Amino acid sequence: EVQLVESGGGLVQPGGSLRLSCAASGFTFSSYWMSWVRQAPGKGLEWVANIKQDGSEKYYVDSVKGRFTISRDNAKNSLYLQMNSLRAEDTAVYYCWVSSSPSFDYWGQGTLVTVSS
């Protein structure tokens, strides 16, 4: 059974940092692109970043470029999101997401990040 379990969320002040983790199991983690998707309270889904199987390619939504860094450790079957210079508008539930054609599509349960003073 595929499982994605996020952790690391919490309350942080504006300008602060947080590191999210996603522990993957039930599939060959090193064979898939991995993504982070977020959802602000009462709002829609927003794709944040993704990373290639070997970590050699990374892409980010414009609003987090230069502040967030996605990484992975294939030996630990883990995905990470280092978030620096956090802003109020980064407040959201952050989901770990794996999707591959044709229908391999799994989400974690999400971890809540709240940026507030």
**Residue ranges that bind other proteins, judged by CB under 8 A:** 35, 37, 43-47, 50, 59-62, 95, 99, 101-103, 105, 107-110
Nearer to other proteins, 56 or 101 (CB): 101
Cβ contact 12:27 at 8 Å: no
Query: How far apart are alpha carbons 51 and 79 in whole angstroms?
Result: 9
CB of 13 to other proteins, least distance (A): 26
Nearer to other proteins, 1 or 75 (CB): 1
CB of 16 to other proteins, least distance (A): 25
Q: Could you write out the three-class secondary structure of 3-19?
A: EEEEECCEEECCCCCEE
CB of 80 to other proteins, least distance (A): 19
Cβ contact 6:112 at 8 Å: no
- Work out whether strand 58-60 and strand 3-7 pair parallel, antiparallel, or are unpaired: unpaired
CB of 20 to other proteins, least distance (A): 15
Q: List the helix and strand counts (H, then E) for the chain.
A: 0, 11
Nearer to other proteins, 86 or 111 (CB): 111
Nearer to other proteins, 101 or 117 (CB): 101
